[in-house]
Amino acid sequence: MHAAGGQKVLRLQTRQIEVGGKAATRYGVTQPSGAVGLTLDEGDLFDVRVENTLKVTSGLHWHGLNPPWQQDGVPYISGPPIAPGQSAAYKFPALPAGTRWMHSHFGLQEQDLLAAPLIVRETDAIRSGRQEVVVLFEDFSWTSPDALLARLRQPPSGGMAMGGMAMSGMKMSMDPAKPDLNDIQYDAYLANDRTLADPQVVDVERAGDVRLRLINGSASTNFTIDLGADEGTLLSVDGNPVEPLKASLFPLAIAQRADILVRLLGDGRAVPVLARGEGRTLQAGIVLRPRGAAIAKIPAESAIDGPVVGLKQEILLRAAQPLPARRVDRSIPVSLTGSMMGYNWSMPVHDMTGAPATVARGERVELVMRNDTMMAHPMHLHGHSFQVTEINERKIAGAIRDCILVPPRTTVKVVFDADNPGIWAYHCHNLYHMAAGMFTTLVYRDFT
């Protein structure tokens, strides 16, 4: 474990981006050098000071790293948030290696783009010498997050004299059997802060290999990564290696990551890497450009809606390094419930709304998540990496993850080893579901 050049500084700042030809002021995370987010090597110490230069209270959570619980960056659970002008220090082994990310866990700041990549490069990725491209996908609205949430909480437009309702961005399925794919009609999707009007173009070798590290940092949009006519090989999900899987489409739920190897065919064609919004025509992306390749304009709206994001690919995934075989010591039922009326969500544990999940150190724990609602929930447990073991009663030696999508009328089982004592956030990573109640904690008995 070495210190990688000592303490790094990450600044919470405001910055300007351009969306649709207009300037937008949003939050961001940059080092004094201007680098966005943080890249470390496997074996490094995570030695960071976060400086809050914003006018608001904030903080950062290290999504996918498993630090001691006091350094997890969830305000009031891990520790105090960071007041304006103040800073906080973090020091722990940067584990596990892989594609992680960082974001504010304070209020709705994530929707204001207070998020950045956090990459701990695997030793074999470093040794390979392969080109890497990190892409953070986000959803963007000109409407403030508070207003978006307030609109979601308004009762449905039962003949109300509210001219604004149609524009409110709320889409609700009137058919109770039909899933709701998304609640908010975003104005844009961003790939590394850019829309397809002016996408990032990455120069690549004509017949080279590129490792994409894709991060769905959106607040409430599930994406499908679309390589078009090209195929990629999925190397890891949520930063954890899987048995390689070839495909052209890769579902990427909110907060999830996918590392995809793209092999340029040597035909000199540019390869777009698109993130298509679920049930929306809107899309974002970057372009891989071999020397001399022509770049065609890619529309921000595709001709057809992005695919429904489900578990068809998930069920095929196999962890490259599964958890050791072991009997489950404790199985915890978690219902994902809610009501679109008033937009209330919850995740009762053992049928008790508001109760934490409790575990003891050393246990093999199973979470049984059953979704009774008509929306999919990307469920994230802090401080642990879990393995997906069952989807609708089909047993698999599935992927190791920190965030699993639980679609409507689906039961997913995951297991993990209770080896990181403390109090941990456990919640839906759809920001508005979380803000509206789909949040609990996982608590170790007798931890110190």
Q: Which is nearer to Cu ion, 351 or 372 (CB)?
A: 372
Closest CB 377 distance from Cu ion, rounded Å:
3
- Number of residues in contact with Cu ion under rule CB under 5 A: 5
Look at strands 257-263 and 271-277 and give their pairing. unpaired
Q: Which is nearer to Cu ion, 74 or 438 (CB)?
A: 438
- Residues 332-371 close enough to bind Cu ion by CB under 5 A: none
Q: Which is nearer to Cu ion, 196 or 428 (CB)?
A: 428
- Per DSSP, what are the bridge partners of residue 184? 170
Closest CB 313 distance from Cu ion, rounded Å:
20
Closest CB 357 distance from Cu ion, rounded Å:
17
Closest CB 94 distance from Cu ion, rounded Å:
29
377 belongs to the binding site for Cu ion (CB under 5 A): yes
Closest CB 349 distance from Cu ion, rounded Å:
15
Contact characters 417-436, Cu ion, x per CB under 5 A:
-----------x-x--x---
Q: Which is nearer to Cu ion, 221 or 430 (CB)?
A: 430
Q: Which is nearer to Cu ion, 196 or 375 (CB)?
A: 375
Closest CB 381 distance from Cu ion, rounded Å:
14
Closest CB 99 distance from Cu ion, rounded Å:
22
Q: Which is nearer to Cu ion, 269 or 377 (CB)?
A: 377
Q: Which is nearer to Cu ion, 346 or 385 (CB)?
A: 346
Give the binding site for Cu ion (CB under 5 A): 377, 428, 430, 433, 438
